[in-house]
Amino acid sequence: MAHEPDITLAEARAIVDRALAKARALHQAGAFVLVDAGGNVVTVSRIGEGPPSSVWVSRAKAYVSSVQRAPSARSATNWRDNPAVFSAFQRLMRDDIFPGPGAMPIRKGDRVVGALSTGGGLGPWTEIPGVDPSELMVDGAPANAEDMIIADALQIPYSNQHPDVQRLVGPRVTERIDDLPHCLAGARRYADGAIEYAKTKGLRAGIVVVDEMGQPVQMDRMDGAPPQSIDMAEAKALTALNFQRPTSEVDRRFSVDRLAQIRAIVHYHVLAAGGGLPITQDGDVVGAIGVSGAGNDETNEEIARGAIKAT
pLDDT, average across residues 271-295: 96
Share of the chain above pLDDT 70, in %: 99
Nearest in space to 211 (alpha carbons), one of 13, 48, 43, 58: 48
Q: Are 58 and 117 in contact (CB under 8 A)?
A: yes
Q: What average pLDDT does range 188-195 have in this prediction?
A: 98
* Helices then strands, each counted (H, E), the chain: 10, 10
Whether the per-residue pLDDT at 120 is higher than 80: the answer is no
Average pLDDT, the chain: 94
Query: How far is Cα 102 from Cα 147, in angstroms, rounded to an integer?
Result: 7
d(CA 239, CA 125): 37
- pLDDT tens profile 68-93: 999 999 998 889 889 998 999 989 99
CATH 3.30.450.150 residue spans of the chain: 9-154, 184-310
Query: What is d(CA 36, CA 6) in angstroms, rounded to the nearest whole number?
Result: 8
Examine the pLDDT at 119 and tell me if it is beyond 90.
no
- Is domain 184-310 in CATH 3.30.450.150, yes or no? yes
pLDDT reported for residue 2:
63
Instruction: Identify the three-state secondary structure at position 52.
Output: coil
- Fold exhibited by the domain 9-154: Beta-Lactamase (3.30.450)
Q: Which of 250, 248, 249 is nearest to 297 (CA)?
A: 248
> With bands split at pLDDT 50, 70 and 90, how would you rate the model's confidence at 224?
very high
> What distance in Å separates the CA atoms of residue 73 and residue 64, rounded to the nearest whole number?
10
Element (H, E) at 211: strand 206-211
Paired sense of beta strands 103-108 and 284-292, if any: unpaired
For the residues 211-234, what does the mean pLDDT come to? 97
Alpha carbon distances (Å) from 203 to 47, 56, 64, 160, 163: 28, 28, 30, 41, 46
Residue 30 to residues 16, 126, 309: CA-CA distances in angstroms? 12, 16, 29
Which pLDDT value is given to residue 157?
Answer: 95
**Whole-number pLDDT of residue 4:** 85
C-alpha 221/C-alpha 59 separation (Å) is 14
More confident of the two residues 53 and 225: 225
| For range 31-54, the mean pLDDT | 94
Of the listed ranges 76-80, 195-199, 211-215, 239-243, the least confidently predicted one is: 76-80
Cβ-based neighbours of 202, under 8 Å, separated by 6 or more: none
* Sequence-ordered list of residues with C-beta below 8 angstroms from that of 170, at least 6 positions apart, any chain: 28, 122, 123, 125, 127, 128, 145
